[in-house]
Amino acid sequence: MSQNTPEIDIVLNEDELMAMVDQLAETLAPRLQGEWTAINILIGATPFTSDLMKALARRNIHPVLDALWLESYRDARESSGRVNVRADITRPVTGRGVLLIDDVFDTGRTLAFARQHLMTKGAREVITVALARKPSAPAGPENVDYYAFEAPERFLVGYGMDDRGLYRGLPFVGALD
Ligand SMILES: O=P(O)(O)OC[C@H]1O[C@H](OP(=O)(O)OP(=O)(O)O)[C@H](O)[C@@H]1O
């Protein structure tokens, strides 16, 4: 790493990530029969969405892909407490199953907001999936439905996750202090 790059501890390397995404697709595939829309929660979920869509396609599962641009952290490492819609989905979801895809489930605000947003638009059912789940995230009915791994209680970067817009392109999941 260059002088200006902070120390980033590797939490999951590329091979571990790919194996986890593949396992998640194997688990999800039986639930995604019929009419489904997969929604990439922008920006952070983009690499995860891309790999999950490919892993589902290998199993002959082809949901419609859409995107919902939500923002609540911007340049901070803590949630602002509000979820702003920067851009909405592009196709109707009335009567369809919706798979909401996010990179990290932390306070749970983003996915709770997105679930309500899609139910209000008439989705038949909404299921949520995140790559990483923080240990302090909500459990019980507010919990994410599926996740690939339990992350350390640290600030994550890489594989879509950012610190002030940086490090989204790292091919691994790392942690900063
Ligand atoms: O569970 P929560 O506490 O709501 O945190 C999770 C959300 O925070 C990040 O989004 P952010 O607002 O940083 O936008 P980004 O996707 O553009 O990074 C991340 O991508 C999740 O969507």
Domain 8-69+93-176 is found in CATH 3.40.50.2020: yes
Atom of ligand 1 at shortest range from CA of 112? 4
CA separation, residue 54 to residues 6, 25, 29, 123 (Å): 32, 9, 12, 24
Atom of ligand 1 nearest to the CA of 162: 18
Nearest CA to ligand 1 atom 17: 43
Amino acid at 167: Y
pLDDT of residue 4: 72
Whose alpha carbon is nearest atom 14 of ligand 1?
71
Q: What is the ipTM of this complex?
A: 0.99
Contacts of 164 (CB under 8 A, 6+ apart): 75
Tell me whether the omega of the peptide bond preceding residue 43 falls within 30 degrees of 0, making it cis: yes
Ligand 1 site residues, Cβ closer than 6 angstroms: 41, 43-44, 71-73, 79, 102-110, 162
What is the C-alpha separation between 74 and 62, in angstroms, rounded? Answer: 32
The tens place of each residue's pLDDT in the chain, 177 residues long, gives 555 778 999 999 999 999 999 999 999 999 999 999 999 999 999 999 999 999 999 999 999 999 999 999 999 999 999 999 999 999 999 999 999 999 999 999 999 999 999 999 999 999 999 999 999 999 999 999 999 999 999 999 999 999 999 999 999 999 998
For residue 7, the tally of other CB atoms under 10 A from its CB is 9
- The domain segmentation of the chain, as residue ranges, is 8-69+93-176
Distance of CA 69 from the midpoint of ligand 1 (Å): 10
CA of 104 from ligand 1 middle (Å) equals: 7
The upper half-sphere exposure of residue 110, i.e. CA atoms within 13 Å in the direction of its Cβ, equals 32
Residues in the chain: 177
Best probe residue, ligand 1, of 73, 75, 104, 166 (max atoms within 8 Å of C-beta): 73
The whole model's pTM is what? 0.97
The confidence score (pLDDT) of residue 5 equals 79
The four Cα atoms 18, 21, 23, 29 give a dihedral, to 10 degrees, of -140
3-class secondary-structure state, position 79: coil
Q: What tokens appear for 29 in the block?
A: 């595939």
